[in-house]
Amino acid sequence: MRYRDQLPPSSSVWFNMKPVSTTHSLVRHNRQLPSPVFEVVDQTWSIPLLRELVEVSTQDGHRLVVLRKRPLDCERISGAVLLLHGLGQNRFSWDLSQRSFANYLVAHGYEVFIADLRGHGLSRAHGAPYPEGFGDYVDLDVPALLRAASLLSQQEEIFVIGHSLGASIAYCLDSPEQRWLRGIVSLAGPGHFARGTWFLRHLATGLHEIGRINPFRGLSPIPFLPVDLAGWLLRRGRFYFDSPLSLFPMALWYPRSIEPEILEERLTLGFDRTSVEILRFMFSWASTGRLEPRKGVDYSSRLQTFTRPILFIVGAQDAVAPSASVEPAYAAAGSADKSFICLDSGPLAKGWGHLDLVCGKAAPAVVWPRILEWLQQH
């Protein structure tokens, strides 16, 4: 099993590196075409592909590491896709050894860029600090990643697929940056965090109010939020958290919706760290309903001027980002081309939670084809 901060096997990105300048970023990638490797799409389905790591420098001088995957036939690319993970997660949100949505896209002709945002995964391992606020993701990381993906793929516009907070980040791109977008797919991306979840809403609101009256609110005993510890606890208590009898009010997946071995890998590798400032921002967002991480900047207002196509997908049983928390983003989006899909129980799945939208048993048969169809239509 790979560790979250280790380079994937056969990655030669750190050798023969060629810097290429863009408007606000520096891209470093392998000058030589990487050797083909076989990787799993879903358990018994494997494909050959090209894989390499790419280093992208942001406008404030930090280095982000991106895993780039593409079909063997580089001359017949259907488009380019940037994948953005959620709160305290990393690239393994999309790319597990036995189930990989990223490889599914490659199998259908797309060039895929799997990002580790600053402070996460390989980007943290190579010096990118924890974010000082939500704006670091929106105004520094994603613009650099979009430019790099456009340059390397030779595609003028890039699809962005975000899970949870990753989708919310994409909603908030400023108008000049939206020119790089071909469209957004939001998988459980809240427009009002914690809305529709009584436990999470009251917890976040209470902690936000405590933070406002705390005279030491600018101080923190640790510089990061150890979400990876939550992954460890979930693994240890998996017999309970994965049980239909579980009463845990913040269930991250629908019980028994993910095979034990795939769930184990997802909890081990996909849970990472983030900054305490991001947690404070989430509490404020839950309490006020506004994406306003800095005084005078209301990121939620950018959705009203958003004109690119958006597909929203949410699970009816999601206890973290339910339909009620995603609907405000759908309602606020200024796009004339927007769709909203709420997945409920059916013949292939008894219910849909948060993580299983991407890596659940039924995701390859239900969620992935819907996303692919939308990409092909746009």
pTM over 0.85: yes
The pLDDT of residue 10 is: 39
Quick one: average pLDDT of 93-112?
98
Give per-residue burial for 43-61: e unless 16+ CB within 10 Å, then b.
Answer: eeeebebbbbbbbbbbeee
The pLDDT of residue 225 is: 87
| Strand residue runs (E) in the chain | 17-21, 26-30, 37-42, 45-57, 63-70, 79-84, 110-115, 158-163, 181-187, 224-225, 274-275, 310-315, 338-343
pLDDT digits (tens, 9 = 90+) for 220-230: 567 788 999 99
> Is 90 exceeded by the pLDDT of residue 289?
no
Q: What gap in Å lies between CA 269 and CA 252, rounded to an integer?
A: 15
Quick one: average pLDDT of 113-118?
98
One-letter identity of residue 72: L
Going by pLDDT thresholds of 50, 70 and 90, the confidence category of residue 9 is: very low
Q: What gap in Å lies between CA 286 and CA 269, rounded to an integer?
A: 27
Return the CATH number of the domain spanning residue range 17-377.
3.40.50.1820
On whether the CB atoms of residues 147 and 131 are closer than 8 A, the answer is: no
* Structural domain boundaries in the chain: 17-377
Write the DSSP assignment of 279-298 as a string of letters.
HHHHHHHHHH-----BTTB-
Going by pLDDT thresholds of 50, 70 and 90, the confidence category of residue 20 is: very low
Going by pLDDT thresholds of 50, 70 and 90, the confidence category of residue 74 is: confident
Going by pLDDT thresholds of 50, 70 and 90, the confidence category of residue 5 is: low
Q: What gap in Å lies between CA 147 and CA 144, rounded to an integer?
A: 5
On whether the CB atoms of residues 103 and 247 are closer than 8 A, the answer is: no
Write the DSSP assignment of 161-175 as a string of letters.
EEETHHHHHHHT--G
> Is 60 exceeded by the pLDDT of residue 28?
yes
Quick one: average pLDDT of 96-116?
98
